[in-house]
Amino acid sequence: MKRFLFVAAAAILISNPLFAQTGVVTTPAPRAGTTVTIAPEQRTKIKQYVVQHPVKPYAMRERMAIGTTVPAEAELYPVPGDWGPGLGNYRYIYSGNTVGLVEPSSRRVIEIIE
């Protein structure tokens, strides 16, 4: 009888989330990012634009990559309408001969143009 009570009490404690702490912290998976497809001719147009309309480059501490968060002090520039359809909602940053297309609300890089 004692064994039954012990097993029943253990099952109740384990099933209760307040008592079933494992020491592992789980964070929600990051939300799926926006996928942007930029055709090779669009990439060429973007590179030409950046050369013809230079902006102050920002020296990032680490290499810019998709998913990188751009620091708050870095200036983001509006994407010109002729870069292609659907890109007008984004901003861009120039750093280390690389153009990063940035989602302005999260400041995350969603595409790299080298």
Mean pLDDT, residues 73-84 taken together: 92
What pLDDT, on a 0 to 100 scale, did the predictor assign at position 34? 57
Does 81 map to a domain? yes
Q: How many domains does the chain have?
A: 1
Residue 15 to residues 8, 18, 25, 43, 79: CA-CA distances in angstroms?
A: 11, 9, 17, 54, 52
Domain that residue 77 falls in:
40-113
Predicted TM-score (pTM) above 0.75? no
Could you tell me the sign of the dihedral formed by the alpha carbons of 103, 75, 60, 27, in that order?
Answer: negative
Q: CA angle, 22 as apex, 13 and 4 as ends, to 5°?
A: 25
Can you give the CATH number for the domain in which 55 is found?
Answer: 3.10.450.160
Residue 68 lies in a domain: yes
Q: List, for residues 21-59, the tens digit of each pLDDT value.
A: 433 322 222 344 556 788 899 999 999 999 999 999 999
What is the DSSP code (8-state) at residue 8? Answer: H
Mean pLDDT of 92-99: 92
